[in-house]
């Protein structure tokens, strides 16, 4: 027997063979998932291009998903990261979008998976992909007849989900593919999973103007100097004073859990339905409002206008831990 003290053992010794992110298409071509060699993972429904799971290397879920969320394309998903476009809420006074359902059609339309556009390899000795980017597309031709009729504009969206070891980035490119100008709003409706809402605080929203959608009538005010805590039904549209580049941080028990920085998304919506969750048919368990907080990056105050042929891009970068 030949002794081979230096037999090749590590794939990472050969850069071309470094472990890659694994992409899997499942559930009759209706879901896409990606797993990094280090174990982080993300799962996306083509229905709405809704991210329904994001786990760290240890398998800990980062997003809250209702136990009664519909994942069969019958209703917008309650949890994960639904994508709002071209209207946030409803806009009865904005004629061009007034016929659309709450939060528009992007979250209830079937997107196309455009594939893995890039992956980055780590240069460290453990080798392998340290991130992977998945692209999804939606354009006028993908819409059902009702949506086309309600919003008869030529458009194209590319939504990119980048899974990394440190976090998750979502970005959207909006393009006017028609021959007249139109306006839109967009938002990434992230449901963060937390253990106990009573221990959660959100910083980065201090001394910022916000619209309070819970008061009757809706009011606009400026937040105090301290971080935001949630002690009842909360539905606010903040324009953080620090601008998109200043992090909005969700802490629990004094520990940073998530940090969000934004590009071109000037607003941050903070939503927790509190005990109203009990009257939402797809919200389960009813006490689940204690385990979630929506902190949503968006461009939702006023409208983004695109002339024919123009594009707009917005994104959020979510990192975990300190
Ligand atoms: O129930 P949905 O249509 O998914 O909306 C859920 C929530 O989305 C946003 O956070 C809005 O600010 C809320 O007013 C709304 O209740």
Q: What is the pLDDT of residues 177-228, one digit of tens each?
A: 999 999 999 999 999 999 999 999 999 999 999 999 999 999 999 999 999 9
Q: From the CB of 151, is ligand 1 less than 6 Å away?
A: no
5 — pLDDT class (breaks 50, 70, 90): very low
Write b or e for each residue in 157-178: b if 16 or more Cβ atoms lie within 10 A of its Cβ, otherwise e. Answer: bbbbbbbbbebbbbbbbbbbeb
**pLDDT over threshold 60, residue 7:** no
Q: From the CB of 40, is ligand 1 less than 6 Å away?
A: no
CATH number, domain at 154? 2.70.98.10
The confidence score (pLDDT) of residue 124 equals: 53
Domain holding 36, by residue range, is 18-320
123 — pLDDT class (breaks 50, 70, 90): low
**pLDDT over threshold 50, residue 246:** yes
**Interface predicted TM-score (ipTM):** 0.98
Q: Per the domain annotation, does 275 fall within a domain?
A: yes
Ligand 1 pocket test target in 100, 102, 191, 276 with most atoms within 8 Å of CB: 102
Number of domains in the chain: 1
Q: Per the domain annotation, does 286 fall within a domain?
A: yes
Determine contact, residues 97/107, Cβ cutoff 8 Å: no
**pLDDT over threshold 90, residue 2:** no
The confidence score (pLDDT) of residue 8 equals: 43
Name the more confident of 5 and 172: 172
Q: From the CB of 277, is ligand 1 less than 6 Å away?
A: no
Q: Which of 97, 82, 49 is nearest to 304 (CA)?
A: 97
15 — pLDDT class (breaks 50, 70, 90): low
Task: Give the residue whose CA is nearest to atom 10 of ligand 1.
Answer: 271
263-266 contacts: CB < 8 A, separation 24 or more?
263/171, 263/313, 263/314, 263/315, 263/316, 263/317, 264/299, 264/312, 264/313, 264/314, 264/315, 265/186, 265/187, 265/188, 265/297, 265/298, 265/299, 265/314, 265/315, 265/316, 266/239, 266/299, 266/301
Q: Per the domain annotation, does 174 fall within a domain?
A: yes
Q: Per the domain annotation, does 236 fall within a domain?
A: yes
Mean pLDDT on 236-261: 97
User: Is residue 86 reached through a cis peptide bond, with omega within 30 degrees of 0 on the bond before it?
Assistant: yes
Q: Per the domain annotation, does 13 fall within a domain?
A: no
Q: Which positions ≥6 away from 205 have C-beta within 8 Å?
A: 223, 227, 228, 238, 240, 248, 268, 270
CA–CA gap between residue 142 and residue 113 (Å, rounded): 12
User: Quick one: what percent of the chain has pLDDT higher than 70?
Assistant: 93
Is 166 a residue of the active site?
no
Q: Which of 317, 306, 31 is nearest to 173 (CA)?
A: 306
Q: What is the DSSP letter of 12?
A: G
Name the more confident of 122 and 234: 234
Model pTM? Answer: 0.94
Cα of 89 vs centre of ligand 1, distance in Å, is 7
CA–CA gap between residue 77 and residue 65 (Å, rounded): 8
Q: Per the domain annotation, does 1 fall within a domain?
A: no
Q: Per the domain annotation, does 264 fall within a domain?
A: yes
**What burial class does residue 4 get, using C-beta atoms within 10 Å of its C-beta: 0-12 exposed, 13-18 middle, 19+ buried?**
exposed
Q: Which positions ≥6 away from 119 have C-beta within 8 Å?
A: 20, 21, 129, 131, 132, 133
Q: From the CB of 213, is ligand 1 less than 6 Å away?
A: yes
Kindly report, residue by residue over 297-314, the tens digit of the pLDDT. 999 999 999 999 999 999
**What burial class does residue 40 get, using C-beta atoms within 10 Å of its C-beta: 0-12 exposed, 13-18 middle, 19+ buried?**
buried
Q: Per the domain annotation, does 143 fall within a domain?
A: yes
């Amino acid at each position: 027997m030949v002794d081979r003290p230096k037999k090749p053992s590590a794939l990472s010794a050969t850069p071309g063979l470094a472990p890659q992110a694994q992409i899997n298409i499942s559930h009759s071509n209706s879901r896409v998932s990606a797993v990094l060699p280090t174990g982080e993972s993300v799962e996306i429904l083509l229905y709405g291009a809704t991210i329904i799971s994001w786990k760290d290397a240890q398998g800990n879920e980062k997003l809250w998903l209702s136990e009664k969320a519909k994942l069969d394309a019958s209703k917008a998903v309650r949890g994960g990261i639904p994508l709002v476009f071209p209207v946030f809420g409803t806009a009865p006074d904005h004629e061009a979008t007034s016929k659309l359902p709450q939060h528009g059609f992007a979250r209830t339309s079937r997107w196309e998976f455009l594939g893995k556009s890039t992956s980055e390899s780590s240069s460290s000795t453990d080798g392998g992909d340290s991130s992977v980017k998945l692209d999804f597309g939606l354009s006028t031709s993908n819409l059902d007849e009702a949506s086309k009729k309600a919003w008869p504009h030529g458009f194209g969206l590319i939504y990119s989900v980048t899974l990394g070891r440190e976090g998750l980035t979502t970005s959207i490119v909006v393009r006017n593919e028609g021959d007249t100008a139109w306006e839109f709003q967009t938002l990434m409706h992230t449901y963060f999973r937390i253990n106990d809402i009573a221990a959660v605080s959100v910083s980065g929203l201090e001394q910022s103007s916000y619209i309070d959608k819970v008061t009757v009538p809706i009011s606009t005010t400026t937040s105090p100097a301290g971080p935001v805590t949630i002690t009842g039904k909360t539905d606010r549209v903040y324009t953080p004073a620090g601008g998109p580049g200043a992090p909005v941080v969700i802490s629990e028990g004094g520990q940073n859990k998530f940090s969000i920085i934004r590009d071109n998304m000037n607003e941050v919506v903070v939503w927790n339905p509190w005990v109203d969750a009990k009257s939402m048919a797809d919200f389960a368990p009813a006490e689940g409002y204690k385990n979630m907080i929506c902190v949503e990056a968006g461009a939702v105050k006023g409208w983004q206008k695109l002339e024919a042929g123009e594009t707009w891009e917005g994104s959020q970068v979510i990192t975990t831990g300190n």
